[in-house]
Amino acid sequence: MIHSAVQLAYVVATALFVLSLHGMNDPKTARRGVTFGIVAMVLAVVATWIEVAAAYGQLEHQLWILGAIVAGFAVGVPLSRVPLTAVPQRTALSHAFGGLATGLVGTAEYFVMRGEGIERLTPFRTAALVAEVILGFVTFTGSLMAAGKLQELKWVPQRPITYPLQNIGNIGLLLLAVGLGAALVLFPAESWSALAFLSIVVLALAFGVLLIIPIGGADMPTVISILNSYAGLSAVAMGFVLDNKLLITAGALDGSSGLILSIIMCRAMNRSFLNVLFGAFGQVKAAAATGTEQNYKSETIEGAAQILEMARHVVIVPGYGMAVAQAHHRVRELYDFLKKNGATVKFAIHPVAGRMPGHMNVLLAEAEIPYNDLVEMDEINAEMPHVDVALVIGANDIVNPAARHDRSSPIYGMPIIEADKARTVFAIKRSKNPGFAGIDNELYYGDATWMLFGDAKTVVSDLVKALTGETGMH
- The residues annotated as belonging to the active site are 397
Q: How far apart are CA 442 and CA 217, in angstroms?
A: 21
Q: Which residues, 6 or more positions from 238, have their beta carbon under 8 angstroms from its beta carbon?
A: 102, 105, 106, 128, 132, 136, 244, 247, 251
Q: Is the dihedral of CA 121, 122, 123, 125 positive or negative?
A: negative
Q: 138 burial class (0-12, 13-18, 19+ CB within 10 angstroms)?
A: buried
- Amino acid found at 229: S
**Closest by CA position to 346, among listed 371, 326, 320:** 371
- Tell me whether strands 449-453 and 313-318 are parallel, antiparallel or unpaired: unpaired
Contact 437, 315 (CB under 8 A): no
Runs of H (alpha helix) within 187-272: 193-212, 220-242, 245-268
CA pair distance 454, 90, nearest whole angstrom = 28
Q: What is Dmax (Cα atoms) for the chain? A: 83
**Among 442, 348, 350, 449, residue whose Cα is nearest residue 400:** 442
Q: What's the half-sphere exposure (Cβ side, CA atoms, 13 Å) at 208?
A: 31
Amino acid at 300: T
